[in-house]
Amino acid sequence: MLPLSLADLVERVGIADLGAEFDTLLQRLYPICRSITGQGVRDTLAILAESIPLQVHEVPSGTPAFDWIVPREWNIRDAYVKNSRGERVIDFKKSNLHVVGYSIPISQKMSLAELKQKLHSLPDQPDWIPFRSSFYRDDWGFCLTHRQLQELPPDEYEVVIDSTLADGSLTYGELFIPGATSEEVLFSAHVCHPSLANDNLSGISVATTLARYLLARVRAGLTPRFSYRFLFAPVTVGSITWLSRNEETVKRVQHGLVLTLLGDPGQIHYKRSRRGNAPVDRAAVHVLQSAGVPHVVEDFLPYGYDERQFCSPGFDLPVGCLMRTPFQRFPEYHTSGDNLSFVRSDKLTDSLSKLLAIVDVLEHDATYVNLSPKTEPQLGRRGIYRALADRGSDGGNEMAILWVLNQSDGKHSLLDIAERSKLKFEQIRGAARLLEECGLLRREPLGA
Amino acid sequence: MLPLSLADLVERVGIADLGAEFDTLLQRLYPICRSITGQGVRDTLAILAESIPLQVHEVPSGTPAFDWIVPREWNIRDAYVKNSRGERVIDFKKSNLHVVGYSIPISQKMSLAELKQKLHSLPDQPDWIPFRSSFYRDDWGFCLTHRQLQELPPDEYEVVIDSTLADGSLTYGELFIPGATSEEVLFSAHVCHPSLANDNLSGISVATTLARYLLARVRAGLTPRFSYRFLFAPVTVGSITWLSRNEETVKRVQHGLVLTLLGDPGQIHYKRSRRGNAPVDRAAVHVLQSAGVPHVVEDFLPYGYDERQFCSPGFDLPVGCLMRTPFQRFPEYHTSGDNLSFVRSDKLTDSLSKLLAIVDVLEHDATYVNLSPKTEPQLGRRGIYRALADRGSDGGNEMAILWVLNQSDGKHSLLDIAERSKLKFEQIRGAARLLEECGLLRREPLGA
Amino acid sequence: MLPLSLADLVERVGIADLGAEFDTLLQRLYPICRSITGQGVRDTLAILAESIPLQVHEVPSGTPAFDWIVPREWNIRDAYVKNSRGERVIDFKKSNLHVVGYSIPISQKMSLAELKQKLHSLPDQPDWIPFRSSFYRDDWGFCLTHRQLQELPPDEYEVVIDSTLADGSLTYGELFIPGATSEEVLFSAHVCHPSLANDNLSGISVATTLARYLLARVRAGLTPRFSYRFLFAPVTVGSITWLSRNEETVKRVQHGLVLTLLGDPGQIHYKRSRRGNAPVDRAAVHVLQSAGVPHVVEDFLPYGYDERQFCSPGFDLPVGCLMRTPFQRFPEYHTSGDNLSFVRSDKLTDSLSKLLAIVDVLEHDATYVNLSPKTEPQLGRRGIYRALADRGSDGGNEMAILWVLNQSDGKHSLLDIAERSKLKFEQIRGAARLLEECGLLRREPLGA
């Protein structure tokens, strides 16, 4: 199969300017007030469904999901704090971060002192509104900049949250792209954060773009080796609910990645799966190492995003996490600073290119057998050196040829060879393709 | 079982001042002239028997012990070198180091030149008397400071050693504290060095104090998981003799430590067992690493104290060695400089606290099974976060909770989890206890 | 068996001055115009056959050898470029590097411009003649210094190469020295480079000297444990041809080394076999590490000399490569700078001494069982300490004695023990011999 690449993506999907495409999608998604349930998730999935055939699932409140229960659905229409002159001093319509997520409805007058019990701000980041929520306990609150908090005068305030917390459903979106085998690759992005760009929209955008690309390839007859599954779900309870309804499905998951925090200017990070050295871990590490750019590989930690659930001991799926700066390590995290200007489309593009390279390794890793294993074959006679020159670096180079021949004893895959030789996977793969064409190599059946 | 700790020890044993307790014991033991056999060992064990129910064994001279034979018993009453004016210029009664250990009796007049053939001193440490012995060959000698040696005038000297070397027995002490299982932990300290404080008395004192503590816990109903065995024996031939009489016993030894050199001001050192990564090795390394203080972990070497015998290939017991500065690496080693002022009670206390922490790991390491292994359980609903806050660091923390849940698949013990998470064992253990109380974890049967 | 050593070699072979011996051999071999076939190889082997009973094999042109075919035989009598005054401006008789190896015959007049198409020089090394060849394509050419090339005036030149390229045979030499077992050690040196000293003659000389030594030992009744096979063959097609005729033989190869580039002044290098940690790799690494001199150990790479063929996946022989500066990493490589003054006899001697030490490890590695495995035996009673003093360092030292006793449980060989103890193999071996003599150790049967 043709290698996956940014250039091929842009051409095949028919995108004029990938950066502008990212910007447009983020601008549409950013204003929506998402939470773990409610209309915000539905509106988000509806926008994604314009470009990918997303299947939207609704799971009723009260449905058990392992140790959890699908919570009541939260919806909000308006919320504000008005001063005695009737001015909205805190206004949900200006920023949905102003309201604590999952706030119960309220309509009440109160003094500044009473109000302050329910206000949240960041003394160390006085110009940013924090993001807070009150899942699983009936509470309410407002968030605002610390600067504004300090300037609030004593007054009688009217506090209104026009929300509902009632039986409804939890919503998630799923896209399945069948491949040549029923073995699956799982990508997961969370869709439950309101106006936060990196911590939500970056992963959603990159995942959607990858899905568009794979679909375009399928339409062109380039059926992938694996089947691909994309999950857009609220964090924690969303992935838990999905897992509880897909216990059989996940037995087919061979590789997986949680996609999040992919648009900030930091270095790219890969967090290993619980298994530590699963093929997806090795593929990701190889791609980052051979890209020759600063990057960080971190060990698994049972904390973070939905890899916590995928890597719980009852599943132990080979799912890692691809991101740039990890959560809590950038000051904008969970504040209004994580906005559209914090996320850069060139960084989203760079993240996507690394993701494509990882998928390319997973798709094309294979084990070959050298059909002329006793001493080296006479390459000159077979025109290999001439072919190498003709194809350029895509066709591998002489060292890649020699490594593939030497290691193709049926026990080493192309990724094994790339790791041992310290050559790039694409070089090794190019060499293998050339040797296969010359009849010097036979590909072992998949799964052998 | 309650964690082992210095505070619990002091309270339970009823010690007003642990440092003073160490000092008193050392002061009583220091003047005794110990050797590999003889009354000195008996006097030493008698003092220990005042606080622990020590069983004293006497093995007759001539008894075979593997490749060895229990030697004749050595006893000494007096020894001196008198000058022609009848003054004792070298006097055993001032320091028992003055006589070469195991010296045969002698009574003779000789010139300075003849005498010098039998004198030992340390030119590089001119103020210290060396410690020498002449086991397994009939010889005699005196030790003195190099300063004194150089000042000895030509004279006719009277040389007297009033010793006996005759059939008798080899003496060792043993204490067995039965636990919930017949699996044993072995602690060994040597008792054959005369007035040397670090290289003998430090290990004896720490071992005795640990034994008093375990006994006090048993009296309070806190039966340990393991049975504990304490051996106080002469180095080499003592442990060899004990091993020869306890071949069945040692099959039950699951963990062991040689305790020696525990009172000097140097960093704490742990020397691994021959196995290299036995549970006792991992427990000791974890305790020293997580204590966050400078320390040294050394690989096994078939040289040192009685770990040489315990780790001989016919036994290969999982016995390491806990010490501060290893032998031969401090100038006071085997000299009169290794005296009561060299050994500090605060260092003995520190060594004991590390030992307690190691025992605590061995006692409490266990494997658990997460009973809600598919995705994370809903901890908030179960009051875990509240319990964490109530219990403080003893109850683990949120990361410890998540690690224990994630790794408790029946294949990883608490020590495994502490190692992987880089959290302290006590945190991991506290988290496991809390989760077990909540019904989220089941402890696997011991030995499973 | 007596250890192998330079001193023993010199005495047993009867060499007055090893350095001079190397110099003489190199001086005789240097002028010969070797190639992958032809009289040059035969002349070379004939010189070696004066000191070792070499069996010379001739394999006819056209014989298939795996994916290869034995090429036509190349011979050359004369070659030159004459100017219009009849002067030989490029003369094969002055340096056989002047002619591109395997040049077809030619006799023609041409202008400077035409001639230059066929001239090779090194602009960066203007005083050296490059070494070039044109195997497997019918071509011809001359090599000369860049300085000379630049000074060639326009003229009509007469170009003559009096060579033949015709059916004949490929020649290689082989020496087999039977040992106590049919298991073999293989040494290989290539013999196909013309006047290049390090890249050819150094390996040939060291291999020949080792063979002389082993033969002398056999004559003295010191039959080696292994059988030894020396191969002197043209690189690539030579070893491929040999392998194709010896598929059964190579199944007996337990260890092997390619010997090349052993006379330059650089650090000694060891390149691991494809297996990476075969006994020969461990022996070589141990020898270089314990020699305490700067050295480099490199991982296997399917590029270099005939280890490429021996380590092809269909054979995967445990064959490493011993050299000093690897090919392409010294400026003299494949130029007239790689001449007799570049190769130093003291470096050849040093390389040989390392090789002897490696062979010594392979010959003497064995597994022993401690017959007194429970606790340490009483060494003093058995006179071990006295024996240690008598024998000096050859008999090991006390630590070596203790390590051998401790590790000889039938699972650890002497090389294992040397690696773990970080003592020299010869110390460990000496200790084992001493303990065996005392009846404390029993050697396990070979191959057990």
User: Which of A377, A380, A403 lies at the smallest CB-CB distance from C302?
Assistant: A403
- Whether the CB-CB separation of B275 and B281 falls below 8 Å is answered with yes
Kindly list the distances between the CA atom of residue C200 and the CA atoms of A207, C23, C44, C223, C234, in Å, as whole numbers in the listed order: 58, 14, 11, 29, 10
d(CA B215, CA C8): 66
- Mean pLDDT lowest among A314-328, A351-365, C380-394: C380-394
User: Which of A373, A380, A381 lies at the smallest CB-CB distance from C312?
Assistant: A373
pLDDT at C382: 87
- Whether the CB-CB separation of C253 and C261 falls below 8 Å is answered with no
Best mutation target among A36, A66, A135 (most B Cβ atoms within 10 Å) is A66
| Same-domain status, B64 and B93 | no
**Looking at the complex, does the CB of residue A246 fall below 8 Å from at least one CB of chain B?**
no
| pLDDT grade for C392, boundaries at 50, 70 and 90 | low
Best mutation target among C370, C375, C379, C404 (most B Cβ atoms within 10 Å) is C375
* pLDDT tens readout for residues B55-81: 999 999 999 999 999 999 999 999 999
| pLDDT grade for B384, boundaries at 50, 70 and 90 | confident
User: Which residues of chain A does B428 touch, with a Cβ-Cβ cutoff of 8 Å?
Assistant: none
Residue-averaged pLDDT of chain C: 96
CATH code, domain carrying A182 = 3.40.630.10
| Same-domain status, B25 and B86 | no
d(CA B365, CA A143): 45
**Looking at the complex, does the CB of residue A244 fall below 8 Å from at least one CB of chain B?**
yes
| pLDDT surpasses 60 at A448 | no
Measured CA angle at C334 (ends C329, C337), to 5 deg: 90
| Same-domain status, A16 and A40 | yes
* pLDDT tens readout for residues B223-241: 999 999 999 999 999 999 9
Residue that the structure tokens 């969303």 belong to? A238
Q: What is the H or E stretch that residue A346 is in?
A: helix A345-364
CATH code, domain carrying A132 = 3.50.30.90
| pLDDT surpasses 50 at B448 | no
Contact (CB<8Å) A409/C313: yes
d(CA A105, CA C176): 95
| Same-domain status, C291 and C190 | yes
- Mean pLDDT lowest among A48-57, A130-139, A398-407, B284-293: A130-139
* pLDDT tens readout for residues B167-222: 999 999 999 999 999 999 999 999 999 999 999 899 999 999 999 999 999 999 99
Where a domain ends, among B364, B388, B412? B364
* pLDDT tens readout for residues B339-369: 999 999 999 999 999 999 999 999 999 999 9
Contact (CB<8Å) B378/A311: no
Q: Which amino acid belongs to residue A116?
A: K
| pLDDT grade for B393, boundaries at 50, 70 and 90 | low
CA-based nearest distance B401→chain C, Å: 39
Contact (CB<8Å) B313/C407: yes
Instruction: Supply the range of the domain harboring residue B351.
Output: 6-70+169-364
Residue B199 lies in a domain: yes
| Same-domain status, C288 and C142 | no
**Looking at the complex, does the CB of residue A376 fall below 8 Å from at least one CB of chain C?**
yes
Q: Please give the average per-residue pLDDT across C343-356, as a whole number.
A: 98
DSSP per residue over A128-169, as a string? Answer: SPBP-B-TTS----EE--HHHHHHPPS-EEEEEEEEEEES-E
Residue B1 lies in a domain: no
Q: Which amino acid belongs to residue C84?
A: S
| pLDDT surpasses 90 at A165 | yes
- Whether the CB-CB separation of B172 and B220 falls below 8 Å is answered with no
- Whether the CB-CB separation of A78 and A93 falls below 8 Å is answered with yes
| pLDDT grade for C100, boundaries at 50, 70 and 90 | very high
User: Which of B375, B407, B409 lies at the smallest CB-CB distance from A240?
Assistant: B375
- Mean pLDDT lowest among A134-138, A436-440, B403-407, C177-181: A134-138
d(CA C267, CA C286): 16
| pLDDT grade for A392, boundaries at 50, 70 and 90 | low
Q: Please give the average per-residue pLDDT across B262-280, as a whole number.
A: 98
| Same-domain status, B381 and B350 | no
Residue B448 lies in a domain: no
Where a domain ends, among A364, A397, A417? A364
Q: Please give the average per-residue pLDDT across A191-203, as a whole number.
A: 97
Residue B34 lies in a domain: yes
Q: Please give the average per-residue pLDDT across C141-161, as a whole number.
A: 98
User: Which residues of chain C does B311 touch, with a Cβ-Cβ cutoff of 8 Å?
Assistant: 406
| Same-domain status, C91 and C65 | no
* pLDDT tens readout for residues C214-223: 999 999 999 9
Residue that the structure tokens 């004593």 belong to? A154
| Same-domain status, A306 and A317 | yes
Q: Please give the average per-residue pLDDT across A126-155, as a whole number.
A: 95
Q: How many domains does chain B have?
A: 3
**ipTM given for this complex:** 0.95
pLDDT at B386: 78
pLDDT at C215: 98
Where a domain ends, among B132, B166, B200? B166
The two three-digit tokens of residue B149, written as one number: 């040696």
| pLDDT surpasses 50 at A141 | yes
CA-based nearest distance A312→chain B, Å: 5
- Whether the CB-CB separation of C82 and C93 falls below 8 Å is answered with no
Q: Tell me what percent of the residues of chain B surpass a pLDDT of 70.
A: 98
| Same-domain status, C108 and C45 | no
Q: Please give the average per-residue pLDDT across B257-285, as a whole number.
A: 98
Q: Please give the average per-residue pLDDT across C103-117, as a whole number.
A: 97
Residue C1 lies in a domain: no
Say how many CA atoms lie within 13 Å of C192 toward its Cβ.
Answer: 25
| pLDDT surpasses 60 at B245 | yes
Assign 3-state DSSP to chain B and report helix, strand, coil percentages, each to 5: 35, 25, 40
* pLDDT tens readout for residues C287-297: 999 999 999 99
Contact (CB<8Å) A312/B380: no
pLDDT at A393: 59
Residue C195 lies in a domain: yes
φ/ψ (deg, to 5) at B47: -65, -45
| Same-domain status, C21 and C50 | yes
Contact (CB<8Å) B313/C370: yes
pLDDT at C448: 44
User: Which residues of chain B does A250 touch, with a Cβ-Cβ cutoff of 8 Å?
Assistant: none
pLDDT at C410: 95
Residue A325 pairs in a beta bridge with none
Residue that the structure tokens 């090779």 belong to? C120
Kindly list the distances between the CA atom of residue A398 and the CA atoms of A386, C69, C234, C276, in Å, as whole numbers in the listed order: 11, 22, 22, 22
| Same-domain status, A150 and A178 | no
Contact (CB<8Å) C312/A402: no
| Same-domain status, C81 and C109 | yes
| pLDDT surpasses 80 at B94 | yes
How does DSSP classify residue B92? Answer: T
